[in-house]
A and B are shown apart, each in its own frame.
Chain A
Amino acid sequence: MFLTGRAADAAVALGDDALVLSHRLGEWAGHAPMLEEEVALANIALDLLGQARFLYSLAGDEDELAYLREERAFRNAQLVERPNGDFASTIARQLYFSSYQELLYTELASAEGELAPLAAKAVKEVAYHRDHAVQWTLRLGDGTAESSRRMQAALTDLWRYTGELFDPVEGLPVDTAALREPWLASVSAVVRQATLTLPDGPDRSGWTAGGGRHGIHTEAFGRMIAEMQHLHRAHPGATW
C-alpha cells in the first residue's frame, strides 16, 4: 500500500535527503584519510541508503524515484548535495545534518503517522552518525592549527545552508521550525567544546533560500544526479 498525496511527498523529501547524502558519502570510497574512516563513512552511507529505500518504498518504486526524476523534482535540502570538499567539510555537513535528522526523527517517531516506525528505527542509526561527526569536530577543532583552521572554514562555509533545514516539509507531521532552537543549542555546544565558533553570517544562501524543498538546487547537484542516473537511463526498461 503506497502513501498518497502530501504524506507521500513528505516520505520522498526525507528519502531524497538520505539518498543524496548517501551518494555524496559514497564518493569518499577509496579516498578517505584512513582505513577506519573508509569503514565508518561507508557505514553511514549504507544506513542512509537503507532509509532512502524504505521511505521511497512508501511512495512508489524506489528506482523510478531515484533514477527517473529530473533535478527539479528532488526535494532534498541543499545542504546534503554540497560537494564533499575536504574531510573537515564533510564532517561539518555531517554535524549540521545529523543533528537535524536526529531531532526530526525523534519527533517523527513520537508523532502519529506512517513514518513513525521508520523514524524510531533510524533515530538509533542517526545517533551514531551524529556521534561520529561530534567526535571528529572535536578532534579537528582542538587538534592542530591546520585542522582547526580547516574545521572553522568548513563550519563557516556550510552555515548558509542550515537555515533551510527548518523550513516546513509538505505533509510532514512535525513542526520543523521548532527544531531550530534545540538544534542550535546542541551544535553550539559541540562547536564551543571544539574551541571553534559558529559564524555570524546569514544561515540562508541568497535567493535560493529554502529552495531545496521546492526543487531548487545548486549547480553541483545537476552533475551529481547526471552521474547517478546515466546508466539506468541508458537502458530504458532493463532490470538489474
Chain B
Amino acid sequence: MTTAQATDTVDQQADFDAVVSAEGRIEPRDWMPDAYRATLVRQIAQHAHSEIIGMQPEANWITRAPSLRRKAILMAKVQDEAGHGLYLYGAAETLDVDRGELLDKLHAGRQRYSSIFNYPTLTWADVGAIGWLVDGAAITNQVPLCRCSYGPYARAMVRICKEESFHQRQGYELLHALSHGTPAQHAMAQDAVDRWWWPSLMMFGPPDDESSHSEQSMAWRIKRHSNDELRQRFVDICVPQAESLGLALPDPDLRWNEERGTHDFGEIDWSEFQQVLRGNGPCNEQRLDQRRTAHENGAWVREAAAAHAAKHSARTSDDAVSGTATGEGAMAG
C-alpha cells in the first residue's frame, strides 16, 4: 500500500465512523470496512435463509387448514415469507454477493438459518404458536434493525416488520379461537405453547457474556440491544398476552419482580440450543433436504428460463422485432 492509499483509507474510515456515529446511513456505493461488509452479508443471508426455510413448517399445514378463511390467511403468510426472502436476498446483493451463491452456501450447510425452524409443526395449533411466539420474537429482534446503519437492510426491515406484526396478530387470534373453543382445541393450543415457548426464548441467541458478534455489531449500529435485553423485553410482552389467551407459559419460575420492574424467568436449557445449532434438532436434515431437493428439481426450469431469455434477446437484437420481454434473466439465479 502506498502512503497516498493509506491516507485514503484512513480518511474513508473516518468518514464511515462519522456517518455511523451520527446515525446516518451507509449506502451500497459508500466505502465500508471489509469486516462490516462481511458481517452484514452473514447476517442478511442468515435472515433471508430463515425466511425461506421458515416457509416449510407452516406450509406443512396449508393443505390441512381447518377452514377456508384460515387456509387463505396461512397461504398469504407463507407467500409473504417468500417475499421477505426476495427483499433480503436483494439487500444482500447490494453488497456484491449473489443469491445463487448464498443459496449454494445454505445448501452446503456453510451459512445458517434460524434454529427455531428445526422444530416440527405437529398440530394445527403450532401454526398459531409460530405466529404469536416465533414471529413475536422475530419482531422484537427486528424492530431495532429498522434503524440499522446499512440503508438497504434498514429499509427492507421496515417493510418486513409491518408484515410480521400482522402475522403475529393472526397467530394470536388463531390461538385465541382455539383456547376459547372446545376442550380438545384448548388442549391443542396449550400443548403447542408448551412446545414453542422455550425454543422462542432461544431465538435471541446465547446469553450476553457468551455472544461472539455482539460488541462490534453494536459499535457499527447494526445491533442496538443485547440478546438478554431483547429476551427480557419479549418475556414481558408475552406474559399479559398469555393471560388474555387463557394459556399458561410452561415456566414455574416465571413471576413479576417488583424491584426490577420486570419478570423473572427460569433457566434456559442451553444444551438443547447447542444441540439444535450443531444439526441435531428434530428437523435439521429434513428442512435442508427439502430445500436442496426443491432447488435441484427446479434447476431445469431455471436453465430453461435463462436459455429462453438468451435466445429471445439474441433474436431481438438480430432483427429488432419487439416481443414480450419478460425479464427471465433475473430468475435464473
Q: Which chain B positions have C-beta within 8 A of A135? A: 324, 326
For B302, the chain A residues whose CB sits under 8 A away are 33-34
A42 within 8 A of B: yes
Assess A147 versus B300: contact at CB under 8 Å? Given A135-B326, A142-B311, A231-B124.
Answer: yes
- Contact among B55, B68, B76, B324 for A38, CB-based, below 8 A: B55
Contact B181 A35 (CB under 8 A): no
Interface of A is mostly: helix
Q: Quick check: B55 and A62 within 8 Å, CB to CB?
A: no
Report the bound CA distance from A31 to B62 in whole Å: 13
Query: Is A121 part of the contact surface with B, judged by Cβ < 8 Å?
Result: no
A140 within 8 A of B: yes
Check A235–B66 contact: CB distance below 8 A.
Answer: yes
Q: Given A29-B55, A35-B82, are A52 and B68 also a contact pair (CB < 8 Å)?
A: yes
Instruction: From the candidates A30, A46, A144, name the one contacting B300 in the complex (CB within 8 A).
Output: A144
User: In the complex where A42-B82, A43-B79, A146-B300 touch, is A228 in contact with B72 (Cβ < 8 A)?
Assistant: no
Q: Which of B83-91, B136-144, B208-216 contacts A (4 or more CB under 8 A)?
A: B83-91
- Contact between chains at B301 and A140 (CB < 8 Å): yes
Nearest CB of B to A154, in Å: 12
**B6 at interface by CB-CB < 8 Å:** no
Q: Are B290 and A31 in contact (CB under 8 A)?
A: yes
B303 touches A143 (CB 8 A): yes
- B328 an interface residue at 8 Å Cβ cutoff? yes
Contact with B along A88-110 (1 / 0, CB 8 A): 00000000000000000000000
CA of A86 to CA of B66, assembled, Å: 27
Contact residues in B for A72 (Cβ distance below 8 Å)? none
CA distance A67 to B68 in the complex (A): 9
Quick one: which of B79, B86, B326, B331 has the most chain A CB within 10 A? B79
Q: Footprint of A on B, CB under 8 Å?
A: 52, 55-56, 59, 62-72, 75-76, 78-79, 82-83, 85-86, 89, 124, 174, 177-178, 181-182, 184-185, 290, 293-295, 297-305, 307-309, 311, 324, 326, 328, 330-331, 333
